[in-house]
Amino acid sequence: MGRYILNRVGISSLVVLGSMTLIFFLLHILPGDSARLIGGDNVSDERVAELQTQFGLDRPLFEQYLSYITGVLTGNLGTSFIDNQPVLSKIMLHFPATLTLTLFSTLIAIVIGVGLGILSAVYQKSWFDYMVRFVNLFSISMPSFWLGILLILVFSIQLRLLPALGSGTWQQLILPSICLGVIGSGLLARMVRNSVLELKNEHFVLALRAKGLRERSIIYKHVLRNALIPAITVIGILIGELLAGSVVTETVFSRQGIGRLIVDSINQKDIPTIQGTLLIAAVLYILVNLLVDFSYAYIDPRIRKSLVK
């Protein structure tokens, strides 16, 4: 197990390094002179040259890359083009809000998704099942900002039940979490439903049935425990999706957060900040999936055994 963990951590660190490289070169093929963009519309040539030196933009690309990598390794994500602030402190300022939103919407996704998934599998081919499946399909097929705008229109503007804007109070968390959570729940419900259905026809279930156990107790005591294990892997993917979804959701609901930071820095062509936020998103995604892998290995006895061997 220890070797397994070490191995996975090692591979993941390499992947992080790869993502960093990819993001760096992707953003540095940008057309246009960054220094001229920083200086604004009426900047003099001397000032452009000065800014180039200040941000190290006059050095060869590979040199810039090396100093970026060494910077990141020492916890320095660079300085924003726009306001000279360390990128890391900008990210830290916006991170808590996104984390709250992601956790809350994951919670909603799990409660709704797992619940509906199980129920619609248990009552397979009933009207309830059909309805749940249709709603799920609808929720994963909607553009998320469209859902957000409709939620604001109905719950905030028409019914005046919940605030549409801002981040701070718990009331302000509800609509955006629902917006994100609903989409996540669609993915999760499909997954849970499928894995429950598959297990319903497995040999051990058939054996239990033959032993005369009641269907209900078979489902709740034996099938669910096994069906939920694969659902854990989905949560890893889900968190990635939710992080990405926060870009759109935070914009619609005018919330503080990493997603909004990315959009703003793209609008301002603030490359170091875009770079930093993408990197943080990638690292988060890798971390979550690493945790998922470990917990998966821990929970599923078959995998645990194969690893011990």
Partner 1 sequence: MNTVYSKAAGEPLKKSKSIHLKRFNLSSVSFSLSLIMILVLILCALFPGVIAPYSPFQMNQAVVMSPPSFTHVFGTDQFGRDMFSLIVYGTRQSLMMGLLAVLLGGFTGTVIGLLAGYFGGIIDTIFMRLTDILLTIPNILLAIAISAALGPSLLNIIVAVSFSAVPNYARVIRGQVIAIKSRPYIDASKTIGMPRMKIIMRHVLPNCSSQIIVMAALGIGTSILISTGLSFLGLGVIKEIPDWGYLLSQGRSYITIAWWIVTFPGLVITLLVIAVNILGDELRDRLDPKRTRA
Partner 2 sequence: MGETMKKKRLLIAIILLLAALLTACADETESSTTLSNKNPISGGEITWALAGTVTEDNLDAHKSGNAQNGRVTRSIYDSLVHETKDGEIEPWLAESWKISEDGKTYTFHLKENVSFTDGTPFDAEAVKFNFDRIKDPATNGTNSMNELGPYESSDVLDKYTVKVNFSKPFAPFLSNAAKSDLGFVSPAAVEKFGEAYPQNPVGTGPFKVKSFTPGTQVVLVKNEDYDWAPDGWGHEGEAYLDKITVQFVPEEATRLGVLQSKQVHAADIVPPQNLVLLRTDPQFNILETELRQINYSMYLNPQKEPWDDLDVRKAVRAALNIESAVEIVYLGTSEQAWSPVTTNMNGYAASVENSWEYNPQLSAHLLEDAGYKKNADGIWAKNGKSLTIDFLDTQGNREKRIDLATVFQNQLKEAGIQLNIVSLSAGEYLERRLAGDYDMIAASQFSGDPDVMRMIFSTKGPNGEENLARANKPELDEWLERGYSTNDEKVRNENYGKAQEYIIENAYSIPTYLFQYSFATVAELKGIEFDSPGFPVFYDAWLQQ
* Residues in touch with partner 2 (CB under 8 A): 30-34, 36-44, 47, 50, 80, 82-85, 90, 93-94, 149, 152-153, 156-157, 160, 163-167, 251-256, 260-261, 264, 268-269
Does position 228 interact with partner 1 (CB under 8 A)? The reply is no
| Nearest distance from C-beta of residue 239 to partner 1, angstroms | 9
Torsional sign, CA 283, 285, 291, 294: negative
Among the listed ranges 33-41, 76-84, 261-269, 299-307, the one in contact with partner 1 (CB under 8 A) is 261-269
Out of partner 1, partner 2, none, what residue 164 binds, judged by CB under 5 to 8 A for its kind, is partner 2
Could you tell me how far CA 71 lies from the centroid of its own chain? 25
Does position 294 interact with partner 1 (CB under 8 A)? The reply is no
Task: Please tell me the chain's helix, strand, coil percentages from 3-state DSSP, rounded to the nearest 5.
Answer: 80, 0, 20
CA distance 75 to 56: 18
Does position 263 interact with partner 1 (CB under 8 A)? The reply is yes
* Residue (126 or 254) nearer to partner 2, CB: 254
Does position 303 interact with partner 1 (CB under 8 A)? The reply is no
CA distance 84 to 23: 21
Q: Nearest 5°: phi and psi at 79?
A: -120, 140
Out of partner 2, partner 1, none, what residue 102 binds, judged by CB under 5 to 8 A for its kind, is none
175: Cβ–Cβ under 8 A, 6 or more apart, which residues? 148, 151, 152, 155, 156, 162, 163, 164, 253
* Residue (107 or 153) nearer to partner 2, CB: 153
- Supply 68's token pair: 């970026």
Q: Determine the length of the chain.
A: 309
Among 198, 222, 290, 300, indicate the residue that binds partner 1 (CB under 8 A). 198
For residue 16, what are the CA distances in angstroms to 53, 167, 278, 280?
Answer: 29, 30, 11, 10
Binding stretches for partner 1 (CB under 8 A): 11, 14-16, 18-19, 22-23, 26-27, 29-31, 137-138, 140-146, 149, 153, 157, 191, 193-194, 197-198, 201, 230, 233-234, 237, 240-241, 243-245, 247-248, 251, 262-263, 266-267, 274, 278, 281-282, 285-286
